[in-house]
Amino acid sequence: MEEFVVYILYSKKFGKNYTGFTSNLIERFKSHNLLAKKGYTIKFRPWEIIYVEFFNSKNDAMKREKFLKTGMGREFIKKLIQQQLQQDSYPPTRTRVQLPSSLLKGKTFRQKHLRFFFHYL
């Protein structure tokens, strides 16, 4: 079964964030930081992952990404960034990744994916 991930990137250097979804989180992260030659994310490198959610269906991941790009979703992201910066926990450590239990119902959480990302933070 294919797994989909909604992620939020943050560029501390520029104070920008980016929300996206993918089925290959590792390659997508590399693309944002190293491989891409054009697009929004190349302008604000380096990016760091501040939040991830895992989904079993592409449709659910797309819905969550769409929500995070609404006014309410942007407020959630803004608060997430502010909390991490205020607590001097930036960049976040493995224990700071927030995956609320209400969001994990019916979703598969892959710890091995997070280990990869924290290697790059």
| Residue that the structure tokens 């250097």 belong to | 13
Task: Please tell me the total number of residues recorded for the chain in this structure.
Answer: 121
pLDDT digits (tens, 9 = 90+) for 54-81: 999 999 999 999 999 999 999 999 999 9
Report the pLDDT value the prediction gives residue 85, as an integer from 0 to 100. 82
Report the pLDDT value the prediction gives residue 67, as an integer from 0 to 100. 96
Domains and their CATH numbers in the chain = 4-120 (3.40.1440)
Rounded Cα–Cα distance for residues 93 and 100 (Å): 16
Cβ atoms of 52 and 7 closer than 8 Å: yes
Report the pLDDT value the prediction gives residue 111, as an integer from 0 to 100. 44
Q: Is 50 helix (H, G, I), strand (E, B) or coil?
A: strand
CB atoms within 10 A of CB 103: 15
Report the pLDDT value the prediction gives residue 87, as an integer from 0 to 100. 75
Give every CB contact of residue 39 below 8 A, 6+ residues apart in sequence. Answer: none
Residues of the chain below pLDDT 70: 88-121
Report the pLDDT value the prediction gives residue 90, as an integer from 0 to 100. 53
Token pair of 63 as six digits: 């819905």
Q: pTM score, two decimals? A: 0.73
